[in-house]
Structure 1
Amino acid sequence: MLFGLEGAELGILMLVAFIFCIMLGFPIAFTLMALGVGAGYLAMGDHILPLAVQRTYSVMTNDVLLSVPLFTFMGYVIDRANILDRMFKALQLAVGGVPASLAVVSMLVCCLWGIASGIVGAVVTLMGLLALPAMLRAKYDVKLATGTICAGGTLGILIPPSVMLILYAATAGVSPVKLYAAAFIPGFGLTAAYIVYIVAVGIIWPEKAPRLPKEERDVPMSTIAWELLVSFLPLTVLTVLVLWVIFAGVATATESAAIGAVGALVLALMYRALTFEKLKEAVYLTARTTAMVCWLFVGSAIFSAVFAYLGGQAYVEQFVVGLDLPPWGFLIMAQVIIFLLGWPLEWTEIIIIFLPIFLPLLDHFGIDPLFFGVLVALNLQTSFLSPPVAMAPFYLKGVAPPEVNINDIFKGVYPFIAIVIMFMVALYIWPEMALWLPKYWYG
């Protein structure tokens, strides 16, 4: 054994070595595979090779993961077809009389775009180019404008059909359809809470969100109706259709993803925006994202198998059980760890690599994995927003005008972080916010 270590000690060394390597910038998926195969060879010799093949094959045959490339392709096609530009302008006309209307529109578009894409970086970057200049020209408070975009950009993690929820379902072995149902009320409820806060700011401090000039709001209803019909309605119908076929049991999550991908192509054709170059780019980006996710799954499967063989998982379980925590204490501890991991790591690494350490403990504490998954999705929103390593503000800073500094963006996200935390507390107190809908629809 390495340095006289064996069993659980070698397993814990694997975990420490992994964290050290990713802090140095090594590729995460291949670091997992290298450590898994290396430690496995020390522990079980040549038997590690058939184990690695078997774990890789189990990832390849996981039907749930088929949804990932399809939903990702749907998002990239809609992005490349520039559908959101027209939607933003149509909604701006429709809600022009509402206080803080531009911020409200930005949040609504983020919500719809998050449903279609689920890729935080893409949503924040695109809305930073599309909505932030419009709000700054309208003399909006920089903190309100940037906080709205950053918070709205993370909604795709939580709102179905979230790719993150698909990966959690595959990792935890739960039904993605039931998980979508569990996330439905918290996801759209959080969006509504964001909008209520934005409107309240517009009413209480109108100087932070000035109303649009009368000439921009004085548009004939026929014009507004036409713009909504040709730009807002098609994408809304597609997203509702994708969700309805899942919740109604008409199609599986994978089949629903296929409907969404085909629907995105149809929309792009309708808008005459589907060129060969854009289609090729969407396919390339989808393949790259899917390859990253699948390699992470393969690396994590090998690493976790060796980690469990060495007794590392059992050691962690014994340690946590030995703390004699109540269920709420375990939940808080797990959420704090996930929150801290969200600073240096993407949500894919957290879901695929670190959550399997907590999942076996859920039975011991009597915690529903659907409830835990929704809590994790809410938690990751705060990780993306919280300084010092807040990914969403840094994504936005990369496309924002030079006069928008990172400290203003950080100050802008604080109220939205507070809203997420309040939602998490509410979910702790009333778990039925997440569990009622799956029970009602699926028993």
Structure 2
Amino acid sequence: MPYELIAILMFSTMMVMLLTGQRVFGAIGFVAVVAALLLWGDRGGYDLGFSALMKLMKWYPLLTLPMFIFMGYVLSESRIADDLYRMFHVWMGGLSGGLAIGTIGLMVLISAMNGLSVAGMAIGATIALPELLRRNYDKRMVTGVIQAGSSLGILVPPSVVLVLYAMIARQPVGQLWLAGVVPGLVMASFFVIYIAIRCKITPSLGPVLSPEERDVGWPEKLRLLSAGLLPLGIFFVMMVPFVNGWTSLVESSAIGALAALLAAVLKRRMTWAVFETSVRQTLAISCMFMWIILAALAFGAVFDGLGAVRAIEDLFTERLGLSPWVILILMQLSFIVMGTFLDDTAMLVIVAPLYVPLVGALGFDLIWYGVLYTITTQIAYMTPPFGYNLFLMRAMAPPEITLRDIYGSILPFVLVMVCALTLVMMFPQIALWLPDYVYGR
């Protein structure tokens, strides 16, 4: 059987298994091991899984994964996010659309606390959304704000998804995190500019808070400022030693986890329930990601053995005569399609064995491509009619917010994100400047 046909059969089998509701790592790992057994016999098939496991266990930066997840859950379960929103409420309530702008700031800081977009969505929907609706903010506006803000979770460090990309693409985690900083802040700035302009034109979308709500006195304002900026302080305590070369990435992740734990203890919010929930969630998510990485390594090894990447490169460049940029854009469009029914980790694991080597062969930077991947998958998450985030938002939103409202709310923010993506594609140094500066010194 031709290798091209084997590769197509593997992908089609995997997609059928995913559509039947199988777990991502189960479907991908099963297809990889069965294909290896059929192609290379018992010894080759068994060696494939064992080799992938040993490669995973020897990858030292993987230790950052449970550290950062634990840090995020400690800060969120101890209600640090409540202090953050209260700070934005008091300091920015006097602006038209100020609370919506403050919600974007809240999401940026939550992203620095917990590198998962779902965590930002959950916190925004439970803390910010009821407050915004109660103060007569337009329901479509605020629904879009929370969905767009949560998209920063897998771009701003410490992004858990970029750790997964780093393992599969065999790229340094530290460089990927630094590459996500400037594009993440640029996208957040675009969101803020859009909200400010839109509420300036139509003030009823984001009414100013009454003086009675904002007038809490300077002592209380300063107290809220110090409490609200605590997660930002933890982020700097963790990242500054790493950026300056004083600590390794793993050591910095341990500093962040200990700093979060200490902050919760000092604020007298570290109860046994908070600690137990944080540990349980950390264990569950870490194990999930490890299984996904293991399946991806096994699947990628089969494709390396088949030479499928070289065959696809020849198809696009030699037979079809497509330019590298056209191929790259087609890859990004495929993420948009897959995002209608898959999450970001599933998309990466499915296409990484093909896309990552192909991107490198076409002469593109894999660090830069990691940033493009994260932005594109978040756009896919929020693209109607079947975006993953749209239904997640519907599950968390109150009954008065309909699915039609959610669809209508996200379109302007998707256009803003497409502008940010285009900017990063046209000017790769937006993503590469910071890692080049830090690692090139």
Range of TM-score over shorter length: over 0.9
Match of 2:323 in 1: 326
The normalised TM-score by structure 2 is: 0.96
Measure how far apart 1:99 and its partner are. Answer: 1.8
Match of 1:239 in 2: 235
Residue 211 of structure 1 aligns to a residue whose secondary structure is coil
Give 5+ residue unaligned stretches, structure 2: none
Match of 1:261 in 2: 257
2:374 equivalent to 1:384: no
Match of 1:424 in 2: 421
Note if contact 1:168-1:351 (Cα within 8 Å) is conserved in structure 2: yes
Measure how far apart 1:440 and its partner are. Answer: 2.3
Task: Please report the RMSD computed on the Cα atoms of aligned residues, expressed in angstroms.
Answer: 1.5
Match of 1:393 in 2: 390
User: Deviation digits for residues 83-130 of structure 1, max 9, x if unmatched?
Assistant: 111221122111222221111111111111112112222211221111
Aligned equivalents of 2:245 and 2:348: distance in 1? Answer: 26
1:108 to 105, 108, 111: 105
Q: Residue type matched to 1:8 in 2? A: E
Aligned equivalents of 1:428 and 1:90: distance in 2? Answer: 35
Matches within 5 A, 1:170-181: 170-181=167-178
Structure 1, 286-295 or 353-362: larger mean CA deviation: 353-362
The alignment-based identity, stated in percent, is 31
1:440 to 427, 437, 440: 437
Measure how far apart 1:392 and its partner are. Answer: 2.1
Aligned equivalents of 1:158 and 1:292: distance in 2? Answer: 20
Note if contact 1:11-1:311 (Cα within 8 Å) is conserved in structure 2: no
Aligned equivalents of 1:33 and 1:188: distance in 2? Answer: 36
The normalised TM-score by structure 1 is: 0.95
Note if contact 2:36-2:48 (Cα within 8 Å) is conserved in structure 1: no
Measure how far apart 1:317 and its partner are. Answer: 2.6
Structure 1, 411-420 or 384-393: larger mean CA deviation: 384-393
User: Deviation digits for residues 164-203 of structure 1, max 9, x if unmatched?
Assistant: 1121122111222222222221111111111111111221
Q: Residue type matched to 1:211 in 2? A: V
Match of 2:126 in 1: 129
Match of 2:369 in 1: 372
Q: Residue type matched to 2:90 in 1? A: L
Aligned equivalents of 1:436 and 1:82: distance in 2? Answer: 35
Aligned equivalents of 2:351 and 2:229: distance in 1? Answer: 40
Whose relative contact order is higher, 1 or 2, with alpha carbons under 8 Å and at least 6 apart?
1
2:267 equivalent to 1:271: yes
1:216 to 204, 213, 216: 213
Note if contact 1:43-1:310 (Cα within 8 Å) is conserved in structure 2: no
2:343 equivalent to 1:346: yes
Measure how far apart 1:438 and its partner are. Answer: 2.1
Q: Residue type matched to 1:23 in 2? A: L
Match of 1:309 in 2: 305
Pair 366,313 (structure 1): closer, same or farther in 2 beyond 3 Å: closer
Measure how far apart 1:208 and its partner are. Answer: 0.8
2:222 to 220, 225, 240: 225
Q: Residue type matched to 1:29 in 2? A: F
Measure how far apart 1:57 and its partner are. Answer: 1.1
Aligned equivalents of 1:130 and 1:152: distance in 2? Answer: 13
Measure how far apart 1:68 and its partner are. Answer: 1.1
Match of 1:90 in 2: 87
Aligned equivalents of 1:107 and 1:216: distance in 2? Answer: 20
2:294 equivalent to 1:295: no
Measure how far apart 1:308 and its partner are. Answer: 2.5
Q: How many residues of Structure 1 are paired with residues of Structure 2 in the alignment?
A: 438
Note if contact 2:239-2:252 (Cα within 8 Å) is conserved in structure 1: yes
Q: Residue type matched to 2:94 in 1? A: G
Aligned equivalents of 1:64 and 1:254: distance in 2? Answer: 6
Q: Residue type matched to 1:296 in 2? A: I
Residue 55 of structure 2 aligns to a residue whose secondary structure is helix
User: Deviation digits for residues 216-273 of structure 1, max 9, x if unmatched?
Assistant: 12231222011212x2122110012223233222222222211111111111112211
Residue 154 of structure 1 aligns to a residue whose secondary structure is helix
Note if contact 1:182-1:434 (Cα within 8 Å) is conserved in structure 2: yes
Residue 229 of structure 2 aligns to a residue whose secondary structure is helix
Measure how far apart 1:324 and its partner are. Answer: 2.4
Measure how far apart 1:210 and its partner are. Answer: 0.6
Pair 339,248 (structure 1): closer, same or farther in 2 beyond 3 Å: farther
Aligned equivalents of 1:247 and 1:389: distance in 2? Answer: 39
Aligned equivalents of 1:355 and 1:56: distance in 2? Answer: 18
Matches within 5 A, 1:106-185: 106-185=103-182
List, as ranges, runs of 4+ consecutive aligned residues in structure 1 with deviation greater than 4 Å. Answer: none
Q: Residue type matched to 2:401 in 1? A: V
2:39 equivalent to 1:46: no
Aligned equivalents of 2:380 and 2:406: distance in 1? Answer: 15
